[in-house]
Structure 1
Amino acid sequence: MSTTHVQYDIGGMSCSFCAESIRKAYERTEGVEEVNVSLAHEEVRIRYDSGVLAEVDLKDTLRDLGYTIRDPDKQKRFEEQQREVEQATRRLTLSGAAAIATAGLMLFMIFVRGTFESQALWMDLVTLGLALGTMFGPGRYITEKAYNSLRRRIFNQHVLLEAGAFAGLLGGFLGLFVFPTFPTVHFFAVSVFITTYHILSEYTSLIVRTRASRAVQGLLDLQPDTARRVRDGEVEEVEVDELESGDHVRIKPGESIPVDGTVLEGESAVDESVATGESVPVDKGPGDEVIGGSVNETGTLLVEVTATGDDAFLNQVARQVEEARTMKPGVVQLADRVLKYFVPGVLTIAVASFLFWILVPVVWSGGPFGTEANVQRGAFAALAVLVLGYPCALGMATPLALIRGGGLAANRGILMRSGDAFQIFQDVDTIVLDKTGTITKGEPAVEEVVAFDGNESDVLTRAASAEAFSEHPLADAILDCADERGVEFPDPDEFDSVTGKGIRAEVDEMRILVGKPGWLTEEGIDMTTARDDIDRLQARGYTVVCVAVDETVVGLVAIGDPVKNDAAETVERMKDAGITPVMITGDNERTATAVAETVGIDRVMADVLPDDKRDEIRRLQEGGERVAMVGDGINDAPGLTQADIGIAIGAGTDIAIESADIVLMGDRLGGVMDSYEIGKSSYRKTKQNLLAAFSFNGIGVAAATTGLVHPVFAMIAMVLSVSVVLVNSFAGQLLRGERLNTDFTAESDTSAVDTDASAGAEMKTA
């Protein structure tokens, strides 16, 4: 046995019934050992025996079902999605025009001619043309999907749709050639309307999914394409793919590190936020490891390559994201759970209704159902059951609730990327929050200034003067603080940067040292008077910069990552909703605990690496918790994908956004609970819509079995059911005069309060 894995990006999926159809098709294919389908990210991962099955057969299965395999290149994939939207728009335009024309003809018959019947052959033929044109024009892809599903004994929404559409055609032909009393035009009209409704339903799903991912870019773009390889003292620029373990690479200040490796020569501060998410650069020297994709800030480094290809850090993260995305258990939407039993149920009732009017009058001769087989009534009953059984309102219930919730969310600067976000969020009982860039602002800033000689302004003046020519991020924080406080400072007369330690400068004939406490001790500065304050500030998780003038320490500057203004309030909202907040970070436990205490979080996971974040999320899930995760960095991507709901801060990295179910367009943390409340409200609307739609379908099917339901009344019932769903979804907003944002690209963080968003509780806005 030769077990192989493949993964495909799929085009054409619209609901979890599509995911279920794909899963069933592969499970029934000899040689397939395991299949996982992700609707949210439109992907399938297959484990199969390559000795039994060829990969081309796997691709053919998808294509036979009516789906496409997208190009793995992200830019080309985006272009394909755009073409899908354009194609869906054309289909909706054509089928919508046919539906309007058909409705106009029916209204002409009813209100001008005063009859339900056409009474003219030209009307029958025109409606027949519209029906055939709709079904085999814009609706042809549905017919192909239904046929290929039936071939594999898969009963899904496409099968039921085509059963209803062909029932309409059959009824119309019976009216033309067999039973003159059959309402020919109305049966043909059924084929037009249910096909159009289905195209509209799939169009809404496609729009929601595509628009929410327009800005998504690739993870591996962070890696430079080339590197400076050093061999025998000669430097040559080569493609990164050509590098091998053991090669030596030189990286200059400001450049991205192209590979994972170990520093051989040089000292520098390296921004490793790509891996750890932490905003403060890490000092690197000989023997230290560096990670591909991180940024070399100050000095020049000579690095020995230790990992390439699939073993490199960024490639490992990408692979973890792909695996977690497809392995995460799929969520069957509420509507699809109903349709799972509704589809075969309707088909069974249609057959039973036909057989009833054929057999019962004969078997029970003289009973209330007549004395002979009633073929016309049986056919009418079976056809009416299929027509009334097509769940057009059921199919619209979830997309309309999703559009409603998505519009409310967009008005608050939130993108709800999948239906899972609406359905699962209400059951979440634990929210795991990354620290840097999520709870905190993600940029170093001065938190406190301590003066031992003079005042705080004097300390800032000395520190800013010494750091005036430095490019270190901590120097930027000091200079920004001086500007904010209006502190003026002269440029240094002399300046010397000691990589990884601090600054020596001469200002107005004063010798100034600014740097780490240990370095100042090495330089002969007595740090005794500053020790208590240094320990206090470090205990709070701050990076402490000491300032000495002429061999005497005059003050300290504490630099940290400030907590977001709404972080504590958001944590409190979580607790009020019965949700447990947990902080997870790659930072050290001391810093993590200090930040957690500031915002009111009791559970803290510190020193956690990217793959460990995913494992920690999985452990919580295995313990029975429903978990949402909030993050913004590449290091968060595997965890975001593993979580039941992944929430990305929109100001973060593209891979985090791509891995998430919900994207907060700004950096406001309060959007997490806004999303929760909107999701909870929208799911309630979905259930209300489904109850209303199912009531119409259930009553209609029961009535249709009598064989007495006229197609025009069936169509009226369909229109009423959709109207009820529409009114329930949007009437509240229309009555309150709210603007529904359906573009899903809003960046506003405020909106009118949705009074029904959380069972009567007022939603908080920024």
Structure 2
Amino acid sequence: MGTTHEQFNVGGMSCSFCAESIEKAYSRTDGVKDVDVSLAHEEVLVQYDDDLLSEIEVKDTLRDLGYTIRDSDKAKRYEQQQTELADGKRRLLLAGSASIVVVALMGWMILVMKRFESASLTMDLVTLVLALGTMFGSGRYIKQKAFQSLRRGIFNQHVLLEAGAFAGLFGGLLGLFVFPSFPTVHFFAVSVFITTYHILSEYTSLIVRTRTSQAVQRLLDLQPDTARRVGEDGDVEEVPVDDLYVGDNVRVKPGENIPVDGTVIEGKSTVDESVATGESIPEEKADGDEVIGGSVNETGTLLIEVTATGEDAFLNQIAREIEEARAMKPGIIQLADRVLKYFVPAVLTIAALSFLFWVVAPLAWGGGPKVQRGVFAALAVLVLGYPCALGMATPLALIRGGGKAANHGILMRSGDAFQIFPDVNHIVLDKTGTITVGEPAVSEVIVFDAEESNVLATAASAEAFSEHPLADAILDAADEQGVEYGDPDAFDSVTGNGVRATVNGDAVLVGKPGWLSDEGVDLSNCRDDIERLQGRGLTVSGVVRDGDLIGLIGIGDEIKADADETVRRMRDAGITPVMITGDNERTANAVAEEVGIDRVMADVLPDEKREEIGCLQEAGHRVAMVGDGINDAPALTQADIGIAIGAGTDIAIESADIVLMGDRLGGVMDAYEIGTESYRKTRQNLTTAFAFNGIGVAAATTGLVHPVFAMLAMVLSVSAVLANSFAGQFLSGEGVNTEFALDKRTDDDVRDGRAMAD
């Protein structure tokens, strides 16, 4: 007996009821051991016994429920999403057109002809055709979902919608052929309206969930398509990366992306591994050191022995981590769906009991069965029971919150973020690029035998020809302070150690303290200063002129101006801040101490970040993760709420539920406060909507509610929800901004802090 895992990208999911229906269907299927459904990313991960089930049977369960399985190829998947959008738009146009015609007929009948009951056989037949066309044309796919759900004993929104739609159709047919007093047109109109509304809501949901970016593919594009393979005879040939095998040797020149994971067997260079570690300062690489595919070779030529290819390569592992985390991320049942979970069977039960009451109860007081009234009561209950306002309560609150967030430079990409944020009690912050700026800068200059400006001028002149990021930091500091410096008379870069130069006739060394000691420089009087700077997490470069140490330069990643204030706001809100980083423990603790974070996780690899988030979740915590790099993407996806810094990488942004435009860390707590307020609005909306539905259903049991008044009640309930969602916003002059909802933006727009509305 073996357990097989299958992961599917699923089309057609519109709310958490869909996720619950899929989970229930699989839980009732023999051989299925576990299933995880991610509504946010439209993915299903199924674990099953391959002795009892085949892959085809597993897929057929999804297809039977009315959902589609998208192609595993991401480019084809995107095409399928666009096809689904086109199909949804076509259905909406057809159903919407039918609704407009029905409204026009009803308006003519009520306002011109002054009649509520049927005005003419022709009008009855026209609305019947429109009802049948909408229900069995545009809305046919809804019936498939409802039937398959009922067949499995699952009561969801599709079942309730079809109960209401068929109730309207049945009521209209009774009025047409049995009871002339029935408002035929109005009952047929109900079938059209609620089907159209559902198609509209699913189409809107599809727009929100369709992603136009191919972020995971862009992640894999960091790896070059070809590599220079070096044969045993020294010959070099350019081959596709897919043709490389473990043990092959490849040569990488300065400025190129390293094509594969491997080990350096010849050469020295600095390598920018921020793709993996997120750290801004490059690593020095020499014989025996490991390198990661996708990182950038900066200064020297390297000969690398391949150690991993294909699915074992780092970038592929990250991509797989992201997709698995998406599928296994705990599902969130929206508050509205929790209400509907009990509301659906309750409405169906009340409708049946109402019919029985008016048929049986009159016998008790000596009357005859009131079949017509019983039918009217049952149908009215089903019509009024369709939760139009309940369905709108959550999205309207999210639109309001999303608009307010957009005005603060925050893109709320997931409705789950609004619901979960009030319960978050731990916020995990990446260090580099999140708490810190993400670029090396001069933090401190210690002077021994010259003025500070002279130390910077000497170091800048010596480093003027260097391409190392630490040299850039020194030059930037000299420029900011207005220090004048020139080009060196002679220059030599000592890979992994520093530079040797001649400046105005003086021999100058700038580099690591250990290298300076090897060059015969006496550092005995500055050991304490070096240790203090390194204790702060700074990289130390000594500046030597004609054999004498004239100063030390401490270079590090600057902390963002609002970092300490943001941490304070977290504590005030009862949230525990946690810092996680791939950097060493000494540097991590130094940064954490400066901003006021007590809990630190250092030396953590990308896959370990996700595991750490999972451990916090298993301990019962609600966790938000804030990051900006590729190495943060799996953790962002795993967290209950992933928050990406908008100035970060595409893959981090695509993996997140919330995007902060620019690099301001304070947006994290702004998003928290907006999310908390929006969730409060959601609860208020649901209370209002449920009150209307509850009162309406209770009134409908009398059998005296006319469909016109039923629809009027639906209009009033929606209006009340609208007023609660937006009245305060209009009064405050905020306006309504729906930028977040469609998530239509280009990569440059995200970086510039502009989310484009479709």
Q: Give the TM-score normalised by structure 1.
A: 0.94
Residue equivalent to 1:757 = none
Tell me how far 1:410 sits from its aligned partner. 2.0
CA RMSD in angstroms comes to 2.0
Tell me which of 489, 492, 502 is aligned to 1:493: 489
Superposed, which structure 2 residues align to 1:29-48 within 5 Å?
29-48=29-48
Superposed, which structure 2 residues align to 1:264-413 within 5 Å?
264-362=265-363, 364-366=364-366, 371-413=367-409
SS at match of 1:433: strand
CA contact (8 A) 2:646 2:753 kept: no
Tell me which of 620, 624, 631 is aligned to 1:628: 624
CA contact (8 A) 2:506 2:546 kept: yes
Task: Tell me the distance in 2 between the aligned counterparts of 1:732 and 1:468.
Answer: 58
Tell me how far 1:706 sits from its aligned partner. 1.3
Residue equivalent to 2:157 = 157
SS at match of 2:558: coil
Residues 330/678 of structure 1: CA separation in 2 closer, same or farther (3 Å cut): same
Superposed, which structure 2 residues align to 1:365-514 within 5 Å?
365-366=365-366, 371-514=367-510
Tell me how far 1:226 sits from its aligned partner. 1.7
Task: Tell me the distance in 2 between the aligned counterparts of 1:664 and 1:338.
Answer: 32
Tell me how far 1:213 sits from its aligned partner. 6.2
Task: Tell me the distance in 1 between the aligned counterparts of 2:19 and 2:428.
Answer: 28
Tell me which of 543, 547, 550 is aligned to 2:546: 550
Task: Tell me the distance in 2 between the aligned counterparts of 1:214 and 1:725.
Answer: 36
Task: Tell me the distance in 1 between the aligned counterparts of 2:607 and 2:215.
Answer: 25
Q: Which deviates further from its counterpart, 629-638 or 322-331?
A: 322-331
SS at match of 1:137: helix
Residue type matched to 1:258 in 2? P
Task: Tell me the distance in 2 between the aligned counterparts of 1:657 and 1:499.
Answer: 35
Residues 75/651 of structure 1: CA separation in 2 closer, same or farther (3 Å cut): farther
Residue equivalent to 1:756 = none
Residues 410/141 of structure 1: CA separation in 2 closer, same or farther (3 Å cut): farther
CA contact (8 A) 2:282 2:469 kept: yes
CA contact (8 A) 2:78 2:212 kept: no
Tell me how far 1:96 sits from its aligned partner. 2.8
Tell me which of 715, 720, 723 is aligned to 1:719: 715
Residue equivalent to 1:81 = 81
Tell me which of 733, 739, 756 is aligned to 2:735: 739
Tell me how far 1:92 sits from its aligned partner. 3.0
CA contact (8 A) 2:458 2:485 kept: yes
Residue equivalent to 2:166 = 166
CA contact (8 A) 1:212 1:417 kept: no
Residues 384/204 of structure 1: CA separation in 2 closer, same or farther (3 Å cut): same
2:16 matched to 1:25? no
Task: Tell me the distance in 2 between the aligned counterparts of 1:196 and 1:204.
Answer: 12
Task: Tell me the distance in 2 between the aligned counterparts of 1:203 and 1:48.
Answer: 32
Superposed, which structure 2 residues align to 1:577-596 within 5 Å?
577-596=573-592
Superimposed CA distance per residue, residues 493-544 of structure 1 (whole angstroms, 9 cap, x where no aligned partner): 2111111011111122111111111111111112233323222211111111
Residue equivalent to 1:235 = 236
Residues 156/310 of structure 1: CA separation in 2 closer, same or farther (3 Å cut): same
Residue type matched to 1:334 in 2? L
Q: Which deviates further from its counterpart, 213-222 or 307-316?
A: 213-222
Residue equivalent to 2:512 = 516
Identity %: 75
Residue type matched to 2:329 in 1? K
CA contact (8 A) 2:249 2:304 kept: yes
SS at match of 1:526: coil
Residue type matched to 1:566 in 2? D
Residue equivalent to 2:57 = 57
Task: Tell me the distance in 2 between the aligned counterparts of 1:214 and 1:527.
Answer: 53
Q: Which deviates further from its counterpart, 324-333 or 584-593?
A: 324-333
Task: Tell me the distance in 1 between the aligned counterparts of 2:656 and 2:594.
Answer: 27
Q: Which deviates further from its counterpart, 197-206 or 330-339?
A: 197-206
CA contact (8 A) 1:417 1:662 kept: yes
Residue equivalent to 1:758 = none
Task: Tell me the distance in 1 between the aligned counterparts of 2:536 and 2:586.
Answer: 7
SS at match of 1:423: helix
CA contact (8 A) 1:631 1:648 kept: yes
Task: Tell me the distance in 1 between the aligned counterparts of 2:705 and 2:613.
Answer: 54
2:244 matched to 1:248? no
SS at match of 1:544: strand
CA contact (8 A) 2:661 2:754 kept: no
CA contact (8 A) 1:228 1:251 kept: yes
Structure 1 residue ranges without an equivalent (≥5): 752-766
Structure 2 residue ranges without an equivalent (≥5): none
Tell me how far 1:618 sits from its aligned partner. 2.1
Tell me how far 1:314 sits from its aligned partner. 2.1
SS at match of 1:442: strand
Task: Tell me the distance in 1 between the aligned counterparts of 2:90 and 2:223.
Answer: 39
Residues 668/319 of structure 1: CA separation in 2 closer, same or farther (3 Å cut): same
Task: Tell me the distance in 1 between the aligned counterparts of 2:75 and 2:489.
Answer: 51
Task: Tell me the distance in 1 between the aligned counterparts of 2:207 and 2:667.
Answer: 22
Task: Tell me the distance in 2 between the aligned counterparts of 1:244 and 1:749.
Answer: 43
Tell me how far 1:215 sits from its aligned partner. 6.8
Task: Tell me the distance in 1 between the aligned counterparts of 2:680 and 2:215.
Answer: 30
Superposed, which structure 2 residues align to 1:686-705 within 5 Å?
686-705=682-701
Task: Tell me the distance in 1 between the aligned counterparts of 2:603 and 2:580.
Answer: 8
Task: Tell me the distance in 2 between the aligned counterparts of 1:284 and 1:489.
Answer: 30
Residue type matched to 1:30 in 2? D
Superimposed CA distance per residue, residues 567-596 of structure 1 (whole angstroms, 9 cap, x where no aligned partner): 111111111111111111111111111111
Task: Tell me the distance in 2 between the aligned counterparts of 1:282 and 1:749.
Answer: 31
Residue equivalent to 2:260 = 259
2:188 matched to 1:188? yes
Residues 161/382 of structure 1: CA separation in 2 closer, same or farther (3 Å cut): same
Tell me how far 1:64 sits from its aligned partner. 2.3
Tell me how far 1:548 sits from its aligned partner. 0.9
SS at match of 1:562: strand
SS at match of 1:399: helix
Tell me which of 614, 633, 650 is aligned to 1:654: 650
CA contact (8 A) 2:404 2:734 kept: no
Residues 215/274 of structure 1: CA separation in 2 closer, same or farther (3 Å cut): closer
Residue equivalent to 2:110 = 110
Tell me how far 1:675 sits from its aligned partner. 1.1
Aligned residues: 746
Tell me how far 1:697 sits from its aligned partner. 1.0
SS at match of 1:254: coil
Residue equivalent to 1:132 = 132
Tell me how far 1:147 sits from its aligned partner. 2.1
CA contact (8 A) 1:346 1:385 kept: yes
2:570 matched to 1:574? yes
2:14 matched to 1:14? yes
Residues 553/416 of structure 1: CA separation in 2 closer, same or farther (3 Å cut): same
Task: Tell me the distance in 1 between the aligned counterparts of 2:582 and 2:315.
Answer: 16
Tell me how far 1:7 sits from its aligned partner. 0.5
Residue equivalent to 1:729 = 725
Q: Which deviates further from its counterpart, 127-136 or 699-708?
A: 127-136
SS at match of 2:153: coil
Residues 294/215 of structure 1: CA separation in 2 closer, same or farther (3 Å cut): closer
CA contact (8 A) 2:155 2:345 kept: yes
SS at match of 2:542: strand
Tell me how far 1:214 sits from its aligned partner. 8.0
CA contact (8 A) 2:216 2:319 kept: no
Residues 217/730 of structure 1: CA separation in 2 closer, same or farther (3 Å cut): farther
CA contact (8 A) 1:646 1:659 kept: yes
Task: Tell me the distance in 2 between the aligned counterparts of 1:377 and 1:216.
Answer: 59
Tell me how far 1:262 sits from its aligned partner. 1.2
Task: Tell me the distance in 2 between the aligned counterparts of 1:496 and 1:750.
Answer: 45
Task: Tell me the distance in 1 between the aligned counterparts of 2:504 and 2:416.
Answer: 64
Residue type matched to 1:109 in 2? M
